[in-house]
Amino acid sequence: METRTIFYKKKLFWWVCGGPSLIAAVYLFVWATPRYESTAILRVYEAGGQETSGGSAATEGLGGSMASPGAYVLTQYIASWDAFQALHPERLKEHWQNGDWPSSFGGPLTLFSSNQMRLWEYYKKHVTAQLDDISGLVTINVDGYSSDFSWTLNKDLLELARKELAESGIKSDQAEHNMLLQKIDLDKNSLSADLGKIAKLQKEAGISDLKGDYQVVLNSLAAAEKERISVDTRAAATEFLAARGQQIEALRIQLAALDKEIEHQRNDIAQKSAIYKEYGRIEAQAEQDTKLIMLDEESLLENERNAVRHAYYIDIIENPIHPTNATRPRALMWTLIILACSFAIYLIIK
């Protein structure tokens, strides 16, 4: 009768199952550096949209997606190069290099590379943001080799995300705001130039109120022409009644004087007409500039209101946890999983 060798006495068992399981157990229980996880839970909302009250999640479970566009922006931003750079890569590198050789940065997990691109990939694996589309909640998880590091990095990331979200929702409003400020400056410069032209015209004419002076000249001309008509009528009547009387001569002299005055007034009007025409044009333009500035300032005020309404805000459901106990490497769980899987492989190939 053939004697069967017990499985744990076979070399194949130790090559396939026993050896790998022992190595994994030694690494996980003895060598692996403990890792600490800090978790924060939050909701992102728009000021003009729905807001939670005191961190309440009462709106969950009503069906449909509760996630705001800002929540998607947040998850993308946390994994972005900009966020990674803002968190001081040298600080991250210094900490993540202090773990056990297999799992630390610069080891096998990063193909023994320690450049910034590898560090960014390592960062994205150890700093994560997960969005629940149903509840709209975002869970931020940070793990590191010390509880203080994980907690501090989570707080820094949360503050960084708060600032980024406040700006990301209003980028279009900011562009419009800058455009309106530039337009107001241009309109103010145009108004200043027009007022300068008006002052120059007043100085050249030697009259502070061109509009009033021009009206006085027109009134004087109208009065002189009216007087001439009256005198001319009387002169015609007098000539008809006494062709050789002395009164007609006096009226003719008066008519000549009036004609001279009217000619003078007309020359004065012709001279001032061009100036007043230019003055009127610039004055109308200055009034238009003033109206434009008022409209621009109203648009700027509305833009600032929109900036507040469109900004994204963070409602903290759970502040970053300061872990007191290590959560990884979960040595027992992984040892049993490796043992079970390797033993299954042994049973297949024995």
Q: Over 70: is that where the pLDDT of 208 sits?
A: no
Residue 348, in any domain of the structure? no
> What pLDDT sits at residue 120?
94
Question: Do 288 and 204 share a domain, yes or no?
Answer: yes
DSSP structural state of residue 318: E
Question: Do 111 and 205 share a domain, yes or no?
Answer: no
pLDDT tens per residue across span 64-80:
556 677 888 889 999 99
Question: Do 316 and 300 share a domain, yes or no?
Answer: no
Note if the pTM is more than 0.95.
Answer: no
- pLDDT, averaged across the chain: 75
Question: Do 162 and 180 share a domain, yes or no?
Answer: no
Higher pLDDT, 84 or 268: 84
Q: Which of 267-271, 288-292, 299-303 is predicted least confidently?
A: 267-271
Q: Over 50: is that where the pLDDT of 16 sits?
A: yes
Adjacency order of strands within the sheet including 137-144: 127-131, 137-144, 36-46, 312-318
> What pLDDT sits at residue 56?
40
Residue bearing tokens 């108004």: 191
Residue 350, in any domain of the structure? no
> What pLDDT sits at residue 342?
87
pLDDT tens per residue across span 320-346:
999 988 887 777 888 888 889 988 888
**Domain that residue 69 falls in:** 38-169+311-322
Domain total in the chain: 3
- With 0-12 / 13-18 / 19 or more C-beta atoms within 10 angstroms meaning exposed / middle / buried, residue 166 is middle
CATH code of the domain in which 184 resides:
1.10.287
Question: Do 239 and 280 share a domain, yes or no?
Answer: yes
> What pLDDT sits at residue 59?
42
Residue 347, in any domain of the structure? no
Comparing CA positions, the residue from 211, 212, 61, 201 lying closest to residue 134 is 61
> What pLDDT sits at residue 165?
82
**If you average pLDDT over residues 155-172, what whole number do you get?**
80
Tell me how far CA of residue 224 lies from CA of 211, 217, 268, 274, 309, in angstroms: 20, 10, 13, 22, 67
pLDDT tens per residue across span 88-141:
999 999 999 888 878 888 887 777 888 899 999 999 999 999 999 888 899 999
Q: Over 80: is that where the pLDDT of 19 sits?
A: yes
